[in-house]
Structure 1
Amino acid sequence: MTGYTNVSTDFNRFLDKPNIHPSAHVHDDATVIGHVIIGKRVFLAPHSFVRGDEGQPLFVGDESNIQDAAGIHALETEELHNGHWVELSKRRFSKSGELLSPKESPSGYAVYIGKRVSIAHQSLVHGPAWVGDDTFIGMQSQIFNAKVGSNVAIGVKSLITGGVTIANGKYVPPGSVITTQGQADALPVRIGSPYEGTNKAVVHVNSSLADGYNGIASPDSSSKKATHSEPAKAEGGQH
């Protein structure tokens, strides 16, 4: 799957096709559009999406995963105003996580996802947004207009928005609604939480799936012969 070129609009002047690393795996039922960069061994599950046809570019770092029905999208980052293209303020982050001014904006990302990040089932990261390395985003969670540091664990059905910054190493308990910096600063640490080791295991599974679907045997399976289970039979021997 190579993705789709975006269309030209009054909020996006360029036509871009996704840049997907050959070692990544994008399921046939996933969607990747426009100015998108997908890194090494990234896994995009069925019905996931990365849409770089409005705000752009969108960056997904090496060994990250976007699970079933999870997605990445962003608010527009530029607009045509009186015949001139204008960069919109505070719509892009730098690679290192600074929110950029209009002058700096062309060098930034509407959404930046670091390395080994897990975006679990039905979650949404909507730009402007920045997520650091080794962070886990639990099922049905939403991040919008926020910065989430590295080594963070976000529990299921959480909302993070309002321009907040979640510091490195924090734990967002399931069902949290974080809309102020005070709430973000009061969060507990990930170490010792129920999610302490979750992301490492999830990244291993999904990177291995990317390798497997691309026909690359994992080191642990190189000496093992693949087997196929027999299809289940209905009663009476029918199947």
Structure 2
Amino acid sequence: MFYEFNGHRPVVHPSSFVHPQAAVTGNVLIGKGVYIGPGAAIRGDWGRIIIEDGCNVQESCTIHLFPGATVLLCEGAHIGHGAVVHGARIGRNCLIGMNAVIMDNADIGDECIVGALSLVRTGEIIPPRSVVVGNPGKIVKAVSDEMLSWKTEGTAIYQALPGEMQADWKPCEPLRPEEAKPVEGKAPEKTYKPWKGAE
């Protein structure tokens, strides 16, 4: 759902997909090919939220800010399930892990990976291509070319999702067990797996 607030209405490029169970309020700009999942709360009531092309904001994420601030998700930013971004900048092609929290005035450099459940404190400046984990978050190593390739491939799946959702998504009533039939469909050409270092 979209909500106007104080004369500001969200602006969404038509190539993006915002799930109707997401709440997008006020001064929010959503670029091309963005996926916003159900349960996401993107609240531009006190400042501006800019979500650039090719980003994804997954289920149950919260994006908000203090009065007068701006949140910027740069191109290709990947915000994992349940993460919170509050008044921060997320650099180009970053991955923010599930249930991570990025606090006010933090600046996550381009091509960083922030681990699941990590906390990046207020005002922290994270250099490009850093891996950050823990609470409080600490830089533990650099993002390797292999890690960055894995991240970029995962984000590409989400960058394709808005078009797929627009083409083949619709509300429905569930089947009863006796009505269910095997689903015949095209098998994926390639299986995407979790980062091997997390196994």
Contact 1:32 1:51 in 2 (8 A): yes
Matched positions, count: 174
Distance 1:232 1:37 in 2: 38
- TM normalised by structure 2 equals 0.80
- Bigger strand fraction: 2
The residue identity in structure 1 corresponding to 2:48 is P
Distance 1:207 1:192 in 2: 20
The correspondence for 2:37, drawn from 42, 45, 48, is 45
Work out the CA distance in 2 between the residues paired with 1:113 and 1:208: 18
**Pick from 133, 155, 162: which aligns with 1:203?**
155
Deviation at 1:161, TM superposition (A): 1.2
- Structure-1 separation of matches of 2:38 and 2:125: 30
Cα distance 1:52–1:233, how it changes in 2: closer, same or farther (>3 A)? Answer: closer
Alignment of 1:1-239 (within 5 A): 3-6=2-5, 8=6, 15-54=7-46, 56-77=47-68, 92=69, 110-127=70-87, 129-145=88-104, 146-173=106-133, 175-178=134-137, 183=138, 186-191=139-144, 195-215=147-167, 234=177, 237=178
Once residues 164 and 122 of structure 2 are traced to their aligned partners in structure 1, the CA distance between those partners, rounded to angstroms, is 39
Structure 1 residue runs of 4+, over 4 Å off? 231-234
Residues of 1 paired with 2:111 and 2:42: CA distance? Answer: 22
Q: Quick one: distance in 2 between partners of 1:161 and 1:19?
A: 30
- Percent sequence identity is 28
8 A Cα contact 1:138 1:154, kept in partner: yes
AA aligned to 1:26 is V
CA displacement 1:59-108 (0-9 Å, x = unmatched):
0010000000012100111xxxxxxxxxxxxxx4xxxxxxxxxxxxxxxx
Scaled by the length of structure 1, what TM-score is found? 0.67
- Shift of the 163–205 alpha-carbon distance from structure 1 to 2, 3 Å rule, reads same
Q: 1:233 to 1:154 in 2, by over 3 A?
A: same
Alpha-carbon separation, structure 1, partners of 2:16 and 2:122: 32
8 Å CA contact 1:151–1:168 kept in 2: the answer is: yes
Uncovered stretches (5+) of structure 2, i.e. residues with no partner? 169-173, 181-199
Tell me the distance in 1 between the aligned counterparts of 2:142 and 2:179.
54
Q: Which has the larger radius of gyration?
A: 1
Contact 1:141 1:156 in 2 (8 A): yes
- CA distance in structure 2 between the partners assigned to 1:26 and 1:238 by the alignment: 31
* Secondary structure of 1:53 counterpart: strand
SS at match of 2:141: coil
Tell me how far apart the structure 2 counterparts of residues 31 and 203 of structure 1 sit (CA, whole Å): 22
8 Å CA contact retained: 2:4, 2:10? yes
Please, which runs of 5 or more residues in structure 1 have no aligned partner? 9-14, 78-91, 93-109, 217-230
Using the alignment, how far apart are the partners of 1:72 and 1:199 within structure 2? Answer: 21
Give the Cα–Cα distance (whole angstroms) in 2 for the partners of residues 163 and 208 of structure 1: 33
- Does the aligned pair in 2 maintain the 1:117–1:199 contact within 8 Å? no
User: Any idea what SS the aligned residue of 1:111 has?
Assistant: strand
Contact 1:20 1:38 in 2 (8 A): yes
